[in-house]
Amino acid sequence: MKNTMTNQVFLPSRRSLLAGLGGTALASGLRLPAAAQTGNNLSLRARPATAALGAGLPPSQIWSLETTNTGPANGPLRFGKGDLAVTVSNELPAPIVLNWLGIDGAQAAAPLTGLAPIPPNGRASFTLPLRQAGTILVNAQLLGDAADRPVSARALIVEDSPPVQADRDEVLLIEEWRVKPDGSALAPGRNPDSTTAVYTVNGQPRLNLTAKTNERLRLRFINGCARSPLGLRIENHDVRVMAIDSQPSEPFPARDGQLVLAPGSRVDVLIDATRAPGTVSSIVLHDGSGPRTIAQLTMSNDAPARAAPLPPAAALPSGNLPARLDLKGALRTDLPLDPNAQWIAPVKFDAATAPAYRVKRGRTVVMAITNPTTAPVVFRLHGHHFRLLDRLDDGWKPFWLDTLIFDKGQTQRIAFLAEYTGRWLMEATALNWAAPKFVRSYVVE
């Protein structure tokens, strides 16, 4: 199974960026300051907030997901494996539903199929099974299209046990905002004319990191953008990819420190800081419109972390996904990403909506997904992670995904083990700020 990820290139134009996303799109995360947590309980409040989104722009009114825990209001949520009791309070003037990207088999929290939208002044409680260590994205974008305000996202980290050999663990949550000259921030699904595209990292215009000589950093990149794929380049350092979309991957080097990130995806990398003291390395973002520095890593003059760099890291502990998939006995189905082919708006989804297919628990599913439209489309599978199959279905790429971009006219085949019973969503959204979001579902019996 050839690892095509190592052949990723850092592409300077939007067209080239999208072309490189076809079957191997990666996602990144953003660094957020740690927030204190209380046991195995999490309380979230969706409420109005004010944010400084760009230099020279007035403060913007947004909607945010805040914790009632002490500590930074928008920091990463960190928990160990096990059941997590979650309570969400909606203090917004519109209903919300949360996505927990990266958590498989959480039917009680599954948006629309397991948990109904929470109305204004409403409250919901449920249990999240945190079975696998990894980097999770929590957002409220599913019903956020054309809302009054855009909604900020959160990072949830399920800690490794035993810990990964790294001196630092930094989360970088990258979000895109469309802002008018008066500071008004536009929700996705609306016409972005007369707005400026700005990006924040952990809610700030730029993130500054420092490192000691021979210190090892784990960087968790999260693409929290609603519609935009991203290219990232980490200058002056060897970058080793360790996990993709919340699941361990076969480790591989990112060529020239370059990554491609689909909306909503996550990538964990390791970097050994071996440059001379005083060296400043930029983390450069490409969205197809040109490069911009969103973070920088500065080598400090402090004493080295150790006399020599650590040896290459071994793969992260394997998750709970199968080592092999039974492709011969699989249920095979076709799925066109055509808005006219039974895809519906999330607000129109209900329990009576017919699923795209039904499958018995324990059987492999192979989906041939085609994008017949004239624009790239991002596809997301809820409930399960999938493998990206090779062209002849004779193997798969050595990583798991839950999100994939399809260029116009492109067909890809994915496969997954239908392990968790219930009804689960599939999302499809064109890579255009004004494009609507569509959903379908599938059922595991």
DSSP string across 9-59: ---SSHHHHHHTTTTT-B-----------BTTEEEEEEEEEEE--STTSPP
Per-residue confidence at 398, pLDDT binned at 50, 70, 90?
very high
**375 found inside a domain:** yes
For residue 390, the domain's CATH number is 2.60.40.420
**149 found inside a domain:** no
With CA atoms as reference, report the closest residue to 271 among 295, 287, 302, 301. Answer: 295
**Tokens at 407, concatenated:** 């260029």
**Tokens at 213, concatenated:** 């000589």
**80 found inside a domain:** no
Compute the average pLDDT of residues 189-214.
Answer: 94
What is the pLDDT at residue 146? 67
In the block, tokens 């379908």 appear at 440
Measuring CA to CA, how many Å separate 313 from each of 31, 266, 316? 21, 19, 8
**292 found inside a domain:** no
User: Who contacts 396 (Cβ-Cβ below 8 Å, separation ≥6)?
Assistant: 1, 325, 387, 388, 389, 390, 415
Each residue's pLDDT tens digit, 135-167 = 999 999 998 776 889 999 999 999 998 888 899
Which residues are 370's β-sheet partners? 336, 411
Give the separation between CA 263 and CA 375, rounded to whole angstroms.
Answer: 15
Each residue's pLDDT tens digit, 42-52 = 999 999 999 99
Measuring CA to CA, how many Å separate 166 from each of 132, 237, 238? 19, 16, 15
Q: Are 149 and 186 in contact (CB under 8 A)?
A: no
- Within 10 Å of residue 238's Cβ, how many Cβ atoms? 16
Q: What percent of the chain has pLDDT over 70?
A: 90
Domain span at 387: 331-444
Mind giving me the DSSP string for 220-272? EEEE--SS--EEEEETTS-EEEEEETTEEEEEEEPGGGEEEE-TT-EEEEEEE
**33 found inside a domain:** no
With CA atoms as reference, report the closest residue to 380 among 307, 433, 437. Answer: 437
What secondary structure letter does DSSP report for 92?
S
**260 found inside a domain:** no
**Tokens at 137, concatenated:** 């994205």
Range of weakest confidence among 88-92, 159-163, 290-294, 390-394: 390-394
Range of weakest confidence among 91-95, 127-131, 250-254, 391-395: 391-395
Q: How many structural domains are present in the chain?
A: 1
Query: Is the pLDDT at 59 greater than 60, yes or no?
Result: yes
Q: Are 325 and 361 in contact (CB under 8 A)?
A: no
**388 found inside a domain:** yes
User: Who contacts 39 (Cβ-Cβ below 8 Å, separation ≥6)?
Assistant: none
Does an H or E element contain 164, and which?
A: none
Compute the average pLDDT of residues 94-104.
Answer: 96
Q: Are 4 and 252 in contact (CB under 8 A)?
A: no
Q: Are 27 and 266 in contact (CB under 8 A)?
A: yes
**Tokens at 272, concatenated:** 């050994």
**10 found inside a domain:** no
Q: Work out the mean pLDDT of the chain and round it to a whole number.
A: 89
Query: Is the pLDDT at 346 greater than 70, yes or no?
Result: yes
Give the separation between CA 182 and CA 57, rounded to whole angstroms.
Answer: 7
Query: Is the pLDDT at 16 greater than 50, yes or no?
Result: no
